Amino acid sequence: MRFETDISPLVGSQNSISAIMRRVIWALIPGTALAVVILGWGVLTNVLLAVVAAVFFEAVMLFLRQRPVGFYLGDYSAVVAGWILGLCLPTLAPWWIPIVASGFAIVLGKQLFGGLGYNPFNPAMVGYVVMLVSFPKQMTFWAAPWGTDGIRLNFTESLRWTFFEELPSHLQFDAVTMATPLDAVRTRLSLGDESMAYIEQQSIFGLLAGQGSEWVALAFLAGGLWMIYKKIIRWHIPVAMLGALAIIATVFWLIDADRYGSPLFHLLAGGTMLGAFFVATDPISSSTTERGRLIFGAGVGILAYLIRSFGSYVDGVAFAVLLMNMAVPLIDYYTQPKVFGHKSQPKTASNKTSKGQ
């Protein structure tokens, strides 16, 4: 009897990339839902617009690159990139912001490098940073979160603003926007005469960090912990990033608590939690060795703090991730694990040749 032949191993993986990406989406849902409630309907429109645009651009690029469109769309990586990008964008951004951002993320950040698996930079962060640099004004349009003294838009008002830039006649634009906690700290500290303790009495500040947004951050933390439990991501990058950020924040805070935010504030403000669990852990653009991931995570944490505290941008997580993405090949090369048998070469080792057998 004759048979077909095959090459071992014949045991294949039940796991798949689309299963991994679907789980990332599951982990994003609690934080996203809470963000919609607390930060406003703009989060929902941002995420939906960014996801739809990301999938659209992905499909167009796959078609142009003559790749099987359905096969690659099924990996859900474009959905994840769009979703994370949507969460980063300001809640009162006009409709074209998430679409253009997704375009840059998918076309420039991902497909032009060769698509899934070949992008050296985190696509969502590429899209975000391009918008931040190109449209600095629109990228500050944050609505007043729940629990502050700002005015909040309802669903239809929010939609009208997003698509037509129309506010209810009795409202001024300034009345519905509010500086983010990080922004508030930066501007007020730059004035020079207000201390952190004073600044934190504003309504934008809550119990731990930003009013409301601190709970969103905790929801992302929970989603991230679930992903670690499910082995979708490894602990190294989030722990190293949050640990390094906490340490450097503590050092400056101990030096001058009036001019530097507390470590808890830094951990829960801005994009820290989303970045630590959903952005910096992107396996494609981050380090792939265990020690490398610790270095990568710590680098992101420290750079994010330095940019936040001393740079000219409000939050530094996106820049920090992109900067560390650049260092990944170097980090990976120098953090290779010790291969079996290379740890304890006996002194009598005579055969040191690296020749193939």
Partner 1 sequence: MIKLYDFHGGIHLPGKKSLSNNTPIQQLACSKRLVLPLQMHIGEPARPEVGVGEHVGKGQRLARPDGFISAAIHAPTSGTVVAIESLPIPHPSGLSAPCIVIEADGEDRWEKPFEPWDDYQSHTPLEIRQRLRDAGVVGLGGAVFPTAAKLAVPPDRPIKTLILNGAECEPYITCDDRVMRERADQIIEGGRILLHASGAERCLIGVEDNKPEAIASLQAAIKAAEDTRFEVVAVPTRYPAGGERQLILTLTGIEIPRNRHATDYGLLCQNVATAASVYRAVVLGEPVISRVVTVTGEGINRPGNFEVRIGTPISDVIAAAGGYKSGVDRLLMGGPMMGFALADDTVPVVKATNCLLALHPQDREPEQPPMPCIRCGQCAEACPVNLLPQQLYWYSRAKDLDRTREYHIFDCIECGVCAAVCPAHIPLVQYFRFAKTEIWASERERLKANKARERHKFHQERIAREKAEREAMLAKKRAALAAKQTNQSQTGSDKSAIKDEIAAAMARVKARKAAAQTKKASEPAQVGSPTYTESEKP
Give the end-to-end CA distance of the chain in Å, rounded to a whole number.
Answer: 37
Q: What are phi and psi of 143, to 5 degrees?
A: -80, 160
Nearest CA to 322 out of 50, 68, 130, 49 is that of 130
Q: 191 vs 339, which CB is nearer to partner 1?
A: 339
Measured CA to CA, the distance from residue 156 to residue 152 in angstroms comes to: 12
Q: 15 vs 190, which CB is nearer to partner 1?
A: 15
| Smallest distance, partner 1 to C-beta of residue 132, A | 26
Measured CA to CA, the distance from residue 130 to residue 138 in angstroms comes to: 12
| Smallest distance, partner 1 to C-beta of residue 62, A | 12
| Smallest distance, partner 1 to C-beta of residue 81, A | 12
Q: 201 vs 357, which CB is nearer to partner 1?
A: 357
| Smallest distance, partner 1 to C-beta of residue 181, A | 34
Q: 109 vs 150, which CB is nearer to partner 1?
A: 109
| Smallest distance, partner 1 to C-beta of residue 108, A | 18
Q: 205 vs 278, which CB is nearer to partner 1?
A: 278
| Smallest distance, partner 1 to C-beta of residue 201, A | 45
User: DSSP state, 275?
Assistant: I
Q: 190 vs 348, which CB is nearer to partner 1?
A: 348
176 close to 152: Cβ distance less than 8 angstroms: yes
Cβ atoms within 10 Å of 311's Cβ, excluding its own = 16
Both tokens of residue 271?
A: 């994009």
Place of tokens 């490098």: 113
Cis peptide before 98 (omega within 30 of 0): no
244 close to 324: Cβ distance less than 8 angstroms: no
| Smallest distance, partner 1 to C-beta of residue 305, A | 26
Measured CA to CA, the distance from residue 207 to residue 204 in angstroms comes to: 10
| Smallest distance, partner 1 to C-beta of residue 20, A | 6
Please compute, for residue 241, the number of CA atoms within 13 A of its CA located in the half-sphere on the CB side.
34
- Measured in whole angstroms, the distance separating CA 27 from the mean position of its chain's CA atoms is 13
Q: 17 vs 323, which CB is nearer to partner 1?
A: 17
Interacting residues with partner 1 (CB under 8 A): 1-17, 19-20, 71, 75, 77, 114-118, 231, 234, 283-284, 286, 288-289, 332, 336-346, 348-349, 351-357
Instruction: For residue 321, give the amino acid letter.
Output: V
User: DSSP state, 223?
Assistant: H
Q: 18 vs 140, which CB is nearer to partner 1?
A: 18
